[in-house]
């Protein structure tokens, strides 16, 4: 029994009610979030994997990307260490935002199938559905 996963494109399964046109970015987006929306959404729309129910996940992903960009900008402007009100050198507080937003970004990217690992997992699930012999649920 050969598993023919090599060389296949690892793309999520198209959604039945896939969005066909990139929606406008939400008004509350900062510049970084808006830029990420313009980068990511055409890809997801073209793959036909984004249903109306997934818009929330896409928005949260782009919000996180915007927070990452803003945190990096603040660190670049102020330096990695700043002097607190007691005159002591401290790591820039934007590093906490950067860490949280990066974790958040990774979570939403996985939800959207927007990471190589997530796409591979989705494809593996589709393969299992096609090949009932290997399924532990087959009777």
pLDDT at 89 over 90: yes
pLDDT digits (tens, 9 = 90+) for 31-57: 999 999 999 999 999 988 889 989 999
Q: Are 52 and 17 in contact (CB under 8 A)?
A: yes
pLDDT value of position 16: 80
| Alpha-helix runs per DSSP H in 79-131 | 94-111, 116-130
Structure tokens at 139: 């009777």
pTM over 0.85: no
Backbone torsions φ then ψ of 102, nearest 5 degrees: -65, -40
Could you say which DSSP state residue 113 is in? T
């Amino acid at each position: 029994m050969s598993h023919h996963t090599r060389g296949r494109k690892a793309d999520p399964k198209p959604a039945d009610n896939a969005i066909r046109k990139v929606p406008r970015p939400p008004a509350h987006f900062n510049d970084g979030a808006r830029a990420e929306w313009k980068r990511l959404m055409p890809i997801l729309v073209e793959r036909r994997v984004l249903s109306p129910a997934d818009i929330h996940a896409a928005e949260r992903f782009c919000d996180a990307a915007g927070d990452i960009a803003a945190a990096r900008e603040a660190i670049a402007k102020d330096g990695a260490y700043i002097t607190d009100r007691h005159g002591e050198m401290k790591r820039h507080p934007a590093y906490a935002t950067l860490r949280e937003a990066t974790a958040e970004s990774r979570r939403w990217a996985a939800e959207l199938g927007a990471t190589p690992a997530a796409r591979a997992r989705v494809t593996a699930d589709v393969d299992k559905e096609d090949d009932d012999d290997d399924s532990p649920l087959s009777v």
